[in-house]
Structure 1
């Protein structure tokens, strides 16, 4: 399968060089000079990876990364002239998988692209390991792993891949407390480099989508899905 990569970069020279190197490796590459243009080009088909510049006209790379993460969990690599540690941390906390500082070696970028896409492929081939093939139920929550559908109070709820995985893990282990570090490893993988606030963000999004979902915060540790039987 040929992976499609969307490169969003307003500098035409960098855009052309990155495109040439990626196409040489056999990738299907689409390009855009702004986030707005990229959204137009991906309405009918979402890419398998995003490469985003930060300093874009209009919507900047940070905000666009955040928007992508609301609906997709494909790998995102940020490329930026900003080399401050806080900028890198912000990019990772907003959902990017990697951060590369300009000027960079195109070969290094290609190597990182290969690594992230390989991990992505392995992770999604083995998603079955995260959930049972049987229907998962916990109180008012029902999950159909094969169909990848979630129902809360008999209403279907749309979730991203990582939201689905997190909720499936918690539902399989009702009342068990998971540390943030364990959830990071099980959902993002062992080589994830970023803050455990990524887990907090997933939980926040799930609480918003599934109102009154009994996910409890275990202060200083992590989270657990409480059995609704305990409330009776």
Structure 2
């Protein structure tokens, strides 16, 4: 895990799900420091490790981002994990929820990358790791706003990768399928837990995989997309139409 050894890492949305699990997984790789951020520090778990520094951060608040960037000037790896999902299809779903998905998952993450790009350029070799979603390849209509925001983020991640390619700042996109987190609470899908998923994410990044899918469900969907994008669309169509609509 040489990519993480002795590194200073900042993780957004570190209070639960994949973010919390990434903090725990990274502490086993020899990191020097982890800035663990979330909106409400009262909800941040105790990691029982002096290397963890907790910071309050809402990635939709430009002033908070600037304040955290001013504190975390030693960041060498930025992990953009914070995200949200709101239910609803594209034609009839709540537009406020869709706007929230886009504001957090897309614009908030872009603002984070903009704020930390000068820091990462200074502290190179460095990296940005964006937790995107398998939904970036083909939207699930029941969470259409979320899927659209993740598709936009995946495109932005590829663009930033090109922008920073000659500056020794690597840019990674991680595209999980459904993971057993609070975000997917109530689903009857057979989902992997966030701890094992985080370990796989760390392994894939350590192996230099710029675009990775850390779970079996996501890999199956990705392979379907690689063979023919319409195959993944068909999978999501079957899931959507199999669910009774109230």
**TM-score by shorter chain over 0.5:** no
More strand by share: 1
Which has the bigger relative contact order, CA under 8 A and spacing at least 6? 2
More helix by share: 2
Scaled by the length of structure 2, what TM-score is found? 0.27
Scaled by the length of structure 1, what TM-score is found? 0.28
